[in-house]
Each structure stands twice: as C-alpha cells, then as structure tokens.
C-alpha cells in the first residue's frame, strides 16, 4: 500500500472515530479576523477617474481568521473565536454566520468606534483584480480582549490558531496563553511581515506560503534563497515550519529534516482561500491527534477540495464539511 493510502486510511478512521460513533470534538481557539468582501466584475480594470459598468456583484464573508475557524468547525472541531467587529450591519452578519456554523462567539467584541473590516475587489475578465482593504475593528483587537474572555470561553484548547490580520501583539498573546495550558499553537503569518525567530517563542508551528516565508525572513519576495534554508532559521524558536507550495503541496521543516508532501491532483478553478482551508484543516487534524505529517496530508486534501470549487458560490460556502472531505479522499484513493 502506498504511504499516501496509509495516511488516507488513518484519517478516515479518525474522522469516523473507527466505530462510527462521534466522540466529543476537541476545542480549537482562533484569534480571528473578519472582513466583509464586496466583489464586482468589470469588463476591464478602471483607470483613474473612470466609472465603469460592472456586473455580478456579491457580498461575501471573509477574513483569514474567520475562514479558518469555519473550516475547522465544518470538519467537526468545537471552535471558539475571539475577534473585533463593528456595531454595524456587517458585524451582525459575522456573528450570524458564526452562529450558523456552530462557532462559539461569546468572546467577540463589538467595537463602538471602528467599523467591521471590509475588502473591495474589482475583477477583470482575465482574472486580474484591484483590491482595497480596510481592516477596521480587526486592528483594535488587544491582549486585554483575549484576557477578558479567557477563563469563560477561550481557555484550555487542544489547538490555538492565529493570523496577522489582527495586531501581532494580540495574536502572539493568545497563542502563548494557550501554549501555557498545553495547547499546540499555530501562527499563519499572513499578511506577512518580517519577524525575528525570537519573536515567535511560544509558537509551535508556523504556516507561511513561499512568498510569506521570504518576507517573514526579511528577504525580498522575489529572492531565490532556498525556502528550506529560510525555514531552518526559525527552528530555534518553533518546532515546525510548514510552507505551503500550492499545487506542489507542502514543505515540512523540523528537527527530522525536510520533506514535501504532495496534494491530490485536481483541476484548480480558484486558488483564493486555499491557505485558509489548509490551516483550518491542519488545526482540526492536530486536535484529533494526528502526527504533523498526517495532519499536513489531511490539510492538503482540504485545500485541494476548495481550489477545485466542487461546491459553487462564494469562498466560505465552498469549504468542505467532514462528510464531503471524506468522500473526496475516498474518490482520490480508490
């Protein structure tokens, strides 16, 4: 049997808990961002001062943290989020969506001054786009917000996950609190910013893509420095660096060395959000007790499922449920 098939068999057993009974899901705490996306298609990208007639407008749920939390919840995790949204319609939509997905949102702060984060996306016919983002209330999340809700809602997770669409101080504070309680901690350093390895003490796993790995290490995004060498610089502070490589899968660098785990082959329709699907699934798999390698293989399937857009519609609605991902894994490993 191929190694990939062994991983598949183990993952299906865990998803179904061998006997078919659903055990109590493990808790995942997400220090999250939320943004409402406004997307419109245009015949071409506008120039300065120009008004174009567009089509296909839609309003979408977004934000890396929210996307990752929803993916984990869809795969069976008991997810708690801490975030800041505005006292506005879009904040109401965020909370309604988290409630719909079964996510505990008691630690979400309604900011009295800043609006809910938004992104405005204009898409041309060739797929090129123009994007403007206002992170709004996301940028006002504080360590005090995390502390305020820790004992009642956020404490004692099996896995804690954060990204950098919120202030880095809040993200790292939440991860370190979780680490002190024995959680596996994951930082998805996106959007990327340069960070010294010493800044990441308390983080077990970082999950940049290739460009983010270069920026994190202080390199030019277009540099040709070997990605594995850049990842190795961080092993004095973190246990594992997982660099997502798109259609090539994921590179794992840890004290065992380096290895690339390939994803299943799919026809990519839209790669937007693949990293969010990957991180949400990675957190779920680790909370279920999978090894890092097996968890990465599982996360590769979740990312591939999303980019293939087997479910049509907006990004969040295309994230796999546990049953959908299991069926996809079975079809990919007959």
Phi, psi (5° rounding) for residue 14? Answer: -70, -40
Active site positions, annotated: 276
DSSP for 256-306? TEEEEEPPPP---S--TTHHHHHHHHHHHHHHTT--HHHHHHHHHHHHHHH
Residues facing residue 161 across a β-bridge: 30, 186
Nearest to residue 187, comparing CAs of 107, 242, 109, 255? 242
Q: What is the enclosing helix (H) or strand (E) of 214?
A: helix 210-216
Q: Which residues face 186 on adjacent strands? A: 161, 205
Strand blocks (E) in the chain: 27-31, 35-41, 55-62, 78-86, 104-111, 117-123, 129-134, 159-163, 184-188, 205-206, 240-244, 250-254, 257-261
The CA-based angle 105-110-111, given to 5 degrees, is: 145
Of the candidates 101, 75, 79, 17, which has an alpha carbon nearest to the alpha carbon of residue 325? Answer: 75
């Amino acid at each position: 049997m191929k190694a990939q098939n062994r991983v598949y068999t183990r993952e299906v057993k865990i998803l179904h808990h061998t006997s078919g009974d659903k055990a109590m899901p493990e808790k995942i705490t997400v220090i999250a961002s939320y943004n409402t996306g406004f997307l419109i298609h245009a015949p071409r990208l506008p120039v300065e001062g120009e008004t174009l007639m567009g089509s296909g407008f839609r309003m979408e749920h977004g934000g890396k943290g929210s996307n990752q939390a929803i993916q984990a919840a869809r795969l069976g995790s008991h997810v708690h989020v801490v975030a800041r949204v505005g006292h506005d319609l879009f904040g109401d939509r965020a909370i309604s969506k988290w409630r719909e997905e079964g996510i505990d949102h008691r630690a979400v702060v309604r900011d009295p001054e800043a609006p809910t984060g938004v992104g405005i996306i204009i898409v041309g016919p060739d797929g090129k786009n123009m994007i403007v983002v206002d992170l709004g209330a996301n940028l006002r999340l504080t360590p005090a917000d995390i502390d305020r809700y820790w004992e009642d809602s956020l404490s004692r997770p099996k896995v804690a996950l954060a990204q950098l669409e919120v202030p880095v101080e809040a993200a790292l504070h939440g991860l370190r609190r979780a680490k002190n309680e024995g959680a596996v901690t994951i930082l998805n350093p996106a959007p990327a910013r340069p960070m010294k390895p010493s800044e990441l003490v308390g983080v077990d796993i970082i999950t940049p893509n290739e460009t983010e790995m270069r920026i994190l290490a202080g390199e030019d995004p277009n540099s040709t420095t070997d990605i594995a060498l850049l990842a190795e610089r961080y092993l004095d502070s973190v246990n594992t660096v997982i660099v997502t490589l798109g259609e090539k899968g994921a590179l794992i660098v840890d004290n065992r060395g380096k290895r690339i785990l390939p994803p299943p082959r799919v026809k990519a329709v839209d790669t937007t959000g693949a990293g969010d699907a990957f991180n949400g699934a990675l957190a779920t798999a680790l909370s279920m007790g999978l090894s890092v390698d097996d968890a990465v293989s599982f996360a590769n399937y979740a990312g591939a499922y999303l980019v293939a857009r087997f479910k049509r519609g907006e990004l969040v609605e295309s994230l796999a449920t546990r049953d959908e991902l299991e069926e996809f894994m079975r079809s990919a490993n007959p």
